[in-house]
Chains A and B, each alone.
Chain A
Amino acid sequence: MTEHGMRGQGLSGQRRLIIKIAAGGALVALLALLPLLNISIPGVFPGPTYTPGTLQLLAYAMLIAALALSYHLLFGLAGMLSFGHALFFAAGAYGLGIVLRRFSPDWLSPGATFLVAVVITVVLGFVLAAVVGSLSLRVTGISFAMVTLAFAQAGSVVVRRNPEGLTGGEEGLSLDVTNVPSFFVGVLNTRNLYWLALGVLVVVYLVVLWVERSRAGHVVAATRENDLRVRVIGIRPYGVRLLVFSIAGALAALAGAAFLLLQSGVSPRVATPDFTLTLLVIVVLGGVGLRWGAVLGAVVYTLLDQRLTALAGSDLIAGLPDVLRIPLSQPLFLLGTLFILVVLFLPGGLAGLAKLGEHRTPRGPRRARTIAAEGTTR
């Protein structure tokens, strides 16, 4: 941008924006067409793109991407290191599951009931996040991380305890399809669920974009760099942080609700703190602070996880001596190691790697954030 003259900048900026929107639109259109195409990428997808297996995997990756985007609002935009974000995803998945089981009024058609249930679930995610946030945000930095972790753990405990048979305990909760539109039910409709996941991802992306561009987004980004500067202009960072935290919670709940439909059920695994750690890994892997970094990270992580799991069960691995077999048969060990290497040697993540060729350095804003973090943690 800077190499352009002052006169050309407005025009060029506008042109860039148009190109960006066009490219984004084209990408979404391509993704939307994928179920109608027959593309095979051996080693990445389990089968051609029109098969339910591949569509399921891609839809899963897109929902994780939506979730990672909502986490990006917290960690990337606001610099809030939350270890409890899985709680809201679980709230979305379990919330919709429970509402669909318990909420079935006569005066509403099944389709309307379904829509109302989804709305209730997302509102629930927002309210839960507002409550958790209002407490957790009383502390900042590392304490905040620990406190959100504690809440997530509490959520996980509740889910496993199966209060009044609501959550199904260790077994998890299966989807009650009574009021679910039939085009979202069954393996034959995986294609529709794929489109639903794509829709959720686009919606979440747009909301995240909107929040980032809004006044609250600017303020909360400023609080990341310098708490004091924001206080000086008379805004309490607490309020905007809470707002962003709650919106992120609602978006996570939306992704969770779609996840329930895609998987026709939900297991307590999504409520565990480990699941949030996975999210953190995804966001950092993709590149902190970048929207498409979160999306990229989610897709890469999901595909890697899937492929590594397949690899772990293969004969190739089984034939190796223990020293190699044991680590290679543990996808999480490999992903964790990869993550450590990225943190140590690739601070900009995968997106930073791509940017490295394009621009000069991806490290500027990260540096500033690190120092700001130091300021708030000591």
Chain B
Amino acid sequence: MIIRRPGFGATMAGLAVLLLATAIAALAIGATGFGLGGLLHPGSAGRDDVAWLVLSQIRAPRVVLAALTGAALATSGAVMQGLFRNPLADPGLIGVSSGAALGAAIVIAAGGAWLGSGAIGRWGVPVGGMAGSLASTALLYLITTREGVTSTNLVILTGVALGAFAAALTGILIFRANDTALRDLTFWTMGSLAGATWTRIGLLLPFLLAAAILMAGLASPLNALLLGEADAALMGYRVERAKRLAMLGVSVATGPVVAFVGVIGFIGVVVPHLVRMVTGPDHRLVLPGSALLGAILLLTADTIARIIAIPADVPVGVVTAAIGAPLFVWLLIRLHDVDVPS
């Protein structure tokens, strides 16, 4: 069985073009029925100011947030799958998402009492999400590390338990929440990009940039880890450091994203597999490829979520799961296996 691979440049260029096309389509489609055409031919409709407002303040930030969220979740999933050599791994599996949701939920539940709408209020939710994901990652690391060695099997099992515990605490907060907080809290359990603003994107960017820098150095160690931890160490890779960086990068990427858009499933699990089907297992392609395809798919899902039940806005998490799950099963049946067998 001879393996043929598309080139790095061709793959990335193809995905970038696809992302651009998806973004333009997402900008053009929406509940208000303003197309891009109205902007290109000023004066034709007489409603240009409204159209411009809808595009620049509602659709555009939502498109950007969807792309960033999709990229962050998919890349985190690719890192987790490579690190744990487990095809099901994603930030949700090891409880990072639940920790982030709990952190943000605590801020929101407390919010009515002491948070204003000023800087603290704006930073409160993403910092809460970030703190929640970092705290759950740190706890996970402490529990699963003995004498500097982190057991990856233990990480998965403990992560599942921590995630369930954090979800239970979030549930208690929801149960005890007042009406305002309840609406905000419920919105996470399904995930939605409806709250996108340029301010939020501005808050998100530094975290995602930091995560991107952390993850950029992980491609080679993750490739080596596909041979097992012993061989990776023999090949001169600092395996334990790679594990720490990967867990840190994933929680930095996932925490604030979950804080803003809630828990969106399936993107983190499915996208890396789709990318590997084309590029093969090399993480130097899988990581950037997942970022681009994650952006494309979440953008598509969110556009569907916006228009499928106009004027209602279906939570995007429902769309990704409703479309993603059957698609994934179909792909598994067709391929009969995946590239990262446990």
Bind each other: no
Q: Which residues of B contact A (CB under 8 A)?
A: none
